[in-house]
Chain A
């Protein structure tokens, strides 16, 4: 309060100020009186103390003697008291008594009476210790009582190492009983509880017990230092190892099914349980061992899922084969190839998605081990992406390719439609499906480590290669079927003594029918492709008089049949300018290319077989008719119809060369016969 305020206050409330002044004066007076009283009291007190001083000293001395006497009495009574305590079982009290007396007895050993007492006490103490041990060994009295016994024994001065050993041995007995009961569950006697219950029991029973033992041990024997801790660690390791072995055995029994949820929960509980006592049992490395077990199980599950995917794929293929081989009921169309392909593709995709979902459980946030480095990194990249997904796609390609290598190329083992379907499947995988699956995988399992992963392009290249090989093999197989027909037809007929041809041979019609059927089949799965427009460039026309091409009208009259040498020379010259036909050239992914390949193979076979026979006149004419028929119908299947013309001309020319009496049929007659047939 500054002066201005005080003056303000003084001026505003004069009455109050006067009253305050009066009160202060009164208080001063009272304080003075109090001071004088206190002085008087102090004076009196000093006088009393002085008077009582003498008494005080004597009483103190008496009190001291009394205490000493009581102690002596205690000492003399000690043996009997101890005995009574031991009889009553109040061990704690006995030990306390003993503790109190020990130092004194030790000091006054030389006095015979004390000596006697000490001896007695020692005897009783020894008995007490023995009884405590007995109690300890009997066990069955529960852990806290055990701990108490040990504590008392330590207080009695028993050697600590022995106690450690005994304590651990005891605990071992209990824990082993737990392990045995767990083991009993693994046995064949039904009903085996499920994995979750097993790990719960193991966790609460064994691990709980182990934790209790460990904490009790550490409390009791903390003074033992590192040697004691080492014993505990060794103990924990050994029993922990046995527990883990049991757990692994139990987990190994979990073979079945695609659903991992129960397994993951069980592993989670198991792992969690062993994380809690981590601090206590850190030296024993139990937590790491638990993590390792979980990792192993996860790897195994991945392998299991991969097997599942593989067998699902093989199952799809078997279904397709059955569907293809099933007899067609009259009036009811079997499933088309496109439908079968769609079924296979969707089935595989759904299996993959199911597997991914099942495996994803291992990395869920709630699971205790999902943030371990293995699960965050290697599991996602190497385990799931590389092992499961990439591994499955590769095995799919390999299985598909194995159809190409089947021995004995009779084509009877693998239906050609299956080859076609697989090649389209692989092509679809290359264009779209592989990248879709891998994107899905990467989204669900974020890759967080640097390990190398297969890029999408590599897998796509492999799939394309597989598709190409399958399609090439399909072309070979179908070409072989038709070639066999043609070969048999040429080899088994007696060409020297045939009659004049009246109609086209049945085998040719069969060839055309089969080719049409193949065209339809391939058309179900593949696009049309590009056909070369019919060129009007006349320089590509063949000069052979036996040519069955339609535009021969301009040149036919110029060359008489009586000069076969000229024809030959001209055809050879013409061959120089045309491209050599590569029969087994690589096949493109369209229908026209496939059909071209098949027809090339068939016609080349026909050519080679014709060159090995000898023909009579009518034999040659029959060949002429057959080739014209083929040319009428086969040109529309190939990319470049020149090809068909060339090959068929060559067939007829070769037959003519093998004929001692070549007289070709009139083209008009040939056409009439073909139209009729």
Chain B
């Protein structure tokens, strides 16, 4: 696979999440480049590009495709600003200024809820945004004590959010209030007998609180990447500087609580 020689240092390359995997976004310095891979997958054609205007040396630090809107949206981070781009016209859709006090390290989109975006940065915070109203974050988490390097939503149950930080910890959080199922499963009335009908109503009336499910401290050094398994929605892995890869599961009690 031959790409035309890069102009500057490539920061990251991200594949289109759905579709036939023909499109790739690469971030280099202050440019976003959209590549279209040809049928034979041996040539890449530059399908579109955009660059950041502004004074000083602007550099992209992270980028992500949005799985919604038929994969036409991309979000990028540069310094403390998060921008959303439309890949059809390569123009900016939204811009979150001063998203974090310091550098933004990573972004992730909520797979089940449109318009919801999570970001993490060097101010040790994880912030959740609604891209329709970018003046204020919907929620802020401040569980880490140093820079948060990556944030990931669970692919199927978006209340589970994983974050890894250079304070050597991995934290699994339960962000129920901003997930797609804030009140848990709603049970059909037909399936129940008259006696049991009343109980689920009581249960669903108290909304579960957002909480930290578990803090994993098996790493001895900074954790730079965390991700969920695409095969099993309850497995996740984390990678730290000393080369240690730790694979963990979501606690069983919580798994059954979410499923049932």
Contact = CB atoms under 8 A, between A and B. Distances in A.
B145 A582 contact: yes
B167 interface: yes
B241 interface: yes
Interface string B227-258: 00000000000000110000000000000000
Contacts of A575: 220-221, 242
Given A575-B221, A608-B222, A584 B242 contact: no
Nearest to A480: B102
A582 B167 contact: yes
Nearest to A575: B220
A580 B146 contact: no
B242 A409 contact: no
B101 A576 contact: no
Interface string B30-62: 000000000000000000000000000000000
Contact of B145 (A409, A480, A583, A654): A583
Nearest to A584: B145
Nearest to B242: A572
A585 B168 CA distance: 14
A611 interface: yes
A311 to B, nearest CB: 30
A576 B168 CA distance: 13
A410 B101 CA distance: 8
Interface string A441-485: 000000000000000000000000000000000000000100000
A604 B145 contact: no
Nearest to B102: A409
Interface in B164-220: 166-168, 220
A407 interface: yes
> Chain B interface mostly helix, strand, loop or mixed?
loop
A403 to B, nearest CB: 15
A584 B146 contact: yes
A567 B257 CA distance: 47
A408 interface: yes
Interface residues of B, number: 16
A409 B125 CA distance: 13
Contacts of B147: 608
Nearest to A568: B242
Contact of A608 (B101, B123, B166): B166
Given A576-B220, A608-B166, A608-B222, A583 B146 contact: yes
B143 to A, nearest CB: 12
Given A608-B222, A611-B241, A409 B146 contact: no
B28 interface: no
Interface string A576-589: 10001011110000
Nearest to A585: B145
B98 A407 contact: yes
B202 to A, nearest CB: 37
Contacts of B222: 608, 611
Nearest to A612: B224
Interface in B84-111: 98, 101-102
Interface string B121-150: 001100000000000000000000111000
B166 A408 contact: no
A583 B167 contact: yes
A409 B123 contact: yes
B224 to A, nearest CB: 9
Contacts of A407: 98, 101
A15 B55 CA distance: 151
A408 B101 contact: yes
Given A408-B101, A582-B145, A604 B166 contact: yes
A251 to B, nearest CB: 44
Point out which of B98, B146, B147, B242 has the most chain A C-beta atoms below 10 A from its C-beta.
B146
A576 B166 CA distance: 17
A584 B241 contact: no
B166 A580 contact: no
A572 B219 CA distance: 11
A353 B123 CA distance: 43
A585 B124 CA distance: 13
A575 B244 CA distance: 14
A582 B222 CA distance: 12
Contacts of A582: 145, 167
Contacts of A604: 146, 166
B179 to A, nearest CB: 27
Contacts of B220: 572, 575-576, 580
Interface in A408-439: 408-410
A583 B146 CA distance: 7
Nearest to B100: A409
A409 B98 CA distance: 10
A218 to B, nearest CB: 68
A580 B98 contact: no
A410 B147 CA distance: 16
A239 B124 CA distance: 68
Contacts of A408: 98, 101
Interface in A326-381: none
Nearest to B219: A580
Contacts of B101: 407-410
Nearest to A600: B146
A650 to B, nearest CB: 9
Contacts of A608: 147, 166, 222
B241 to A, nearest CB: 7
Contacts of A572: 220, 242
B187 to A, nearest CB: 43
A584 B166 CA distance: 12
Nearest to B166: A608
Contacts of A409: 101-102, 123
Contacts of A611: 222, 241
A410 B167 CA distance: 22
Contacts of A480: 102
Nearest to B217: A580
Nearest to A407: B98
Interface in A589-634: 604, 608, 611
A585 B147 CA distance: 14
Given A407-B98, A409-B102, A580 B168 contact: yes
List of 8 A-B pairs having minimum Cβ-Cβ separation, nearest first: A409-B101, A584-B145, A583-B146, A575-B220, A608-B166, A572-B242, A583-B145, A408-B98
Given A575-B220, A575-B242, 6 more contacts: A409-B123, A480-B102, A583-B145, A585-B145, A604-B146, A611-B222
12 contacts: A407-B98, A409-B101, A480-B102, A572-B220, A575-B242, A580-B220, A583-B167, A584-B124, A584-B146, A585-B145, A611-B241, A654-B241
Interface of A: 407-410, 480, 572, 575-576, 580, 582-585, 604, 608, 611, 654
Interface of B: 98, 101-102, 123-124, 145-147, 166-168, 220-222, 241-242
